[in-house]
Structure 1
């Protein structure tokens, strides 16, 4: 049964990875996904096209970074591992380079509370982590700091990270973050966006504890 469950989980990761482009979150082979599994994590491999990826290609990694697989884990395995190790509330991590998120990340701008949906991020801003070379401990440290009290963040000159208690919720949040960034970009062209006050976002954060993608909406 455990082997069957592992295959099912690995298959779900492959399907999620393949959905990134269709959801408007990614291009090519960029981006990666991880999921907490037993005493470690399952993560997409490095440099393998999603359309050719199979369940057997998903890499299991120990929390100390060790793995025993014919393929290398994603080059961004470090921040996936560190987020899952540091955040017991997080079971899934999605990293991608969506156009609008990445545009703001290139400008090193955080996203303010221009729409109440920012409450899905867990606070009144979506922070932009400082730049560091991909795959490095420095990038991981920056990402962890930007995610403090938050469920998603931007990575300067790079892309975004979305987390969740499960994979469908992390994907849902990634889509919501890209939508928010797109709306903000358009609003900046229209005029001067009005920022909602912190107390209003706090009310919405509380409401979001029981809002969003529900278990019955999630695929098996």
Structure 2
């Protein structure tokens, strides 16, 4: 993908996640791999004002260039894309139900088979760390080991994808699962599927090249 097209897609993804209520204000952020550089959204710029030229380019050492400063969360974007060659896009948002679970530092366990779309038997919640710090990045990386999504304690969620479209779709699925889990827990702690069953689910998903199909529209 041409860099300008990728920048336009990043702006569109940011606006879309606010339009559908996945995020509020300027609290979320997005990044994407572009050759040997990382493109990341700027800090404190409303998405309806953001233009492709506002996206910040960052090199492998974390040095950035552009008219604006990168998101305060640039560290975990940089570290995830540097350490996960299977990932080309990172989306972070403060979706309501995922953030509510994160405020209780709860994992989303295998109460529902669709938890497997995030790559494992649960969606982990990383321990709290101050926003924008290396400690938060380290915590997120650990929670994302073997996973494509995680919650951040007292914060929000991160979703990964090979494309921005996939990352956005996964973030929607994580928010949906968090909402379902909160509702299910009102009737008592729901039973969980066994690791063996989740293994079968993941194997079947892999064989079918199963991906997140919930539409962002």
TM range (shorter): over 0.9
Q: Does 1:185 align with 2:182?
A: yes
Q: Does 1:73 align with 2:70?
A: yes
Shift of 1:213: 4.6
Structure 1 vs Structure 2 CA RMSD: 1.6
Cα distance in 1 for partners of 2:139, 2:71 equals: 18
Residue number in structure 2 paired with 1:57? 54
Residue number in structure 2 paired with 1:38? 35
Structure with higher helix content: 1
Residue number in structure 1 paired with 2:127? 130
Map 1:1-220 → 2, pairs under 5 A: 5-209=2-206, 210-213=209-212
Cα distance in 2 for partners of 1:9, 1:208 equals: 28
Cα distance in 1 for partners of 2:33, 2:3 equals: 11
What are the ranges of 5 or more consecutive residues in structure 2 without an aligned counterpart?
none
Give TM-score, length-normalised by structure 1.
0.93
Give TM-score, length-normalised by structure 2.
0.95
Is the contact made by 1:153 and 1:162 (CA closer than 8 Å) also made in structure 2? yes
When the two structures are aligned, how many residues end up with a matched partner? Answer: 214
Q: Once the two structures are superposed, what CA deviation does each residue of 1:77-120 show, in whole Å capped at 9, x if it has no partner?
A: 00000000000001000000000000010001111101000001
What are the ranges of 5 or more consecutive residues in structure 1 without an aligned counterpart?
none
- SS of the residue 1:212 aligns to: coil
- SS of the residue 1:101 aligns to: helix
